[in-house]
Structure 1
Amino acid sequence: MKIDLKNLVKVPESKLFVRFQDCDVLGHLNNVRYFDYFLNTREEHTRHYYALNLMELSKKYRATWVVTNHQIAYLRPADLGENIIIQTQLIHFDKNSIVIEASMYNEARTHLKSLLWSTMRYVSVETARSTEHSEEVLDMLAAVQVTEVEHRPEGFQDRLIEINQAFKRSLPTP
């Protein structure tokens, strides 16, 4: 498992279109569908940007990541027919877990719509118990981790404030 460090994109992003079948009666993306958008986008990012197939990794190492915790903030609705931008990044890992941050923006990137932290435990497919990452997997995680984002389990609200303050600083002064 070799990742091209020279051309590595640590914070990949995708543009998505909010579809009718994913919306509630108000024409907003249904709260449950945010998870689908975020997790599917991260899977696409790992395939495209890191050339990693999660099923192949699972077979090779006889282990896979399973979600143990989600922290999500719904800040602004994603509306039917709207183009949105989703960015994903690995913000933390240790011997047997990872934390992925996914953020959703409007197409102009002037508003954060939602932020998700997903904590995932590395689990043996044979025993269904937590297991440690191999050295090769740890090396891969170290290569893609974004170290500029401080991860503390209790720091989710602080991260929301940090992103929103960055938006305010980037707005033109009246």
Structure 2
Amino acid sequence: MKLPKIVESKAKIRFQDCDPFNHLNNGKYLDYFMNHREDELIKNYNIDIYKMAKTEGKSWVSSSNQIVYLKPALLMEIVTIESQLIHYDNSNLKVEMRMYNEDKSQLKAIVWCGFVHYNLMSQKREQHSEDMMTLFSAIYNPITITTFEERIKSIKRPKS
């Protein structure tokens, strides 16, 4: 079975996550992105990061986030969120996630999230297992642009 390189889900923007202008609060975008990724890891790759932390004492911790807000997500709007693994090595992952309106005709936000594989018992960085490296190799979907700033420019640039 071929694993998807880009995973997608939908979410409804909720009242408690919005600012007084009925826009999704900037800080809440990361919650929506992370909830999406956690759910899709279980659904598509059988990776439950919480079960893994409990049974193996290993998981991933966030190491960095770069986000740009292009259009507001609005109260009660259905959004489509996509994500893909754009970099991996022996202990790091980088995932790009994009939030669109429901039919994906308007990009609302994009984020690059860095994660470090971490041993909760030793409180130190952990090497990815051979099985994880095999999985990452199968789902890896790189972006040829190497910096977040260039990625944003390429998205904003009109298609020729």
Fold shared by both chains (TM-score > 0.5): yes
Verify: 1:97 aligned to 2:92, yes or no.
yes
Which among 28, 31, 35 is matched to residue 30 of structure 2? 35
Q: Hey, what's the Cα distance between the residues in 2 that align with 1:26 and 1:93?
A: 38
How many equivalent pairs are there?
160
Q: Structure 2: which 5+ runs fail to align?
A: none
Amino acid at match of 2:144: E
Higher strand share: 2
Q: Give the SS at the match of 1:98.
A: strand
Which consecutive segments of 4 or more residues in structure 1 shift more than 2 A?
A: 55-62, 161-165
Which among 127, 145, 148 is matched to residue 156 of structure 1? 148
Q: Counterpart of 1:111?
A: 106
Q: Structure 1: which 5+ runs fail to align?
A: 1-5
Conserved? CA contact 2:10–2:80, under 8 Å: yes
Q: Counterpart of 2:58?
A: 63
Amino acid at match of 1:8: L
TM norm structure 1: 0.85
Deviation string 1:69-126 (CA, Å, 9 cap, x unpaired) is 1100011100112111100111100111100111001123222110111101111111
Q: Cα distance 1:139–1:57, how it changes in 2: closer, same or farther (>3 A)? A: farther
Conserved? CA contact 2:84–2:97, under 8 Å: yes
Q: Counterpart of 1:25?
A: 20
Conserved? CA contact 2:11–2:79, under 8 Å: yes
Q: Counterpart of 2:159?
A: 169
Deviation string 1:112-154 (CA, Å, 9 cap, x unpaired) is 110111101111111111121111111111111113x1363xx
Q: Counterpart of 2:137?
A: 142
Q: Counterpart of 2:40?
A: 45
